[in-house]
Amino acid sequence: MIPRKWFTSLLFSAVLLAGSAQAAAAEDTTGSSPEPSAPSGKHITILHTNDMHGRAVEASPEMGFAKVTGIFNQYRSQNPDTLVLDAGDAVHGTPFATLVQGESSVKVMNEMGYDATVPGNHEFNYGWKYLVELSKG
């Protein structure tokens, strides 16, 4: 994952959310339903994590980054159209992450190939300016 991908992912997520909200608010004023289109044959797999809290190593019952990466790779090998998303709280909680203010988690998650992330409340533990810097790399 390139260094700016975290910031781009955050921006992409915000734009996607705004577009979804706008589409949901639109009303059909014609009173008729469109004909269903034929399936395109495209299958997208969406994988999601949240509240990893810097768990780099597996500890029962939680899963560490290594085990999660194996799961991601298994799904990616079955379907290259796999999106990997995270809903936040990844950069704080264990010494691995907290001692370096989340930088280690960001590096590992970049290597894991996350496609998009959004910040959880713990991403703001070190201040929003630091979060912006952290998102660059």
pLDDT of 1 reads: 46
- Output the CA–CA distances (angstroms, integers) from residue 45 to 6, 9, 65, 82, in the order listed: 21, 18, 19, 5
The list of the chain residues with pLDDT below 70 reads 1-33, 36, 38-39, 58-62
* Rounded Cα distance, 20 and 105, in Å: 29
d(CA 60, CA 46): 25
Q: Whole-prediction pTM value?
A: 0.66
Domain 44-137: give its CATH architecture.
Answer: 2-Layer Sandwich (3.30)
Locate the domains of the chain by residue range: 44-137
Q: Across-strand partners of 46?
A: 83
